[in-house]
Amino acid sequence: MGKGDRRTKRGKIWRGTTGKTRPKTWKGRKTQTQKDAKEKA
């Protein structure tokens, strides 16, 4: 388990791949941008 392991987050970062442990879009990202848009308007 470490940089060479495909299943761990560190291994995903090292390889530059995405998946279940390191998704491309994070869950919190959408809600934060919607909140910011409402506050600015």
Tokens of 24: 């491309």
- CB of 41 within 8 A of CB of 35? no
CA distances from 25 to 7, 15, 20, 30 (A): 18, 17, 11, 9
What pLDDT, on a 0 to 100 scale, did the predictor assign at position 6? 84
3-class DSSP state for residue 7?
coil
User: What digits encode the pLDDT tens for the residues 1-38?
Assistant: 788 888 888 988 999 999 888 888 876 555 556 666 66
Say what the pTM is: 0.49
Cα–Cα distance measured from residue 39 to residue 41, given in angstroms and rounded to the nearest whole number: 6
Cα–Cα distance measured from residue 5 to residue 9, given in angstroms and rounded to the nearest whole number: 9
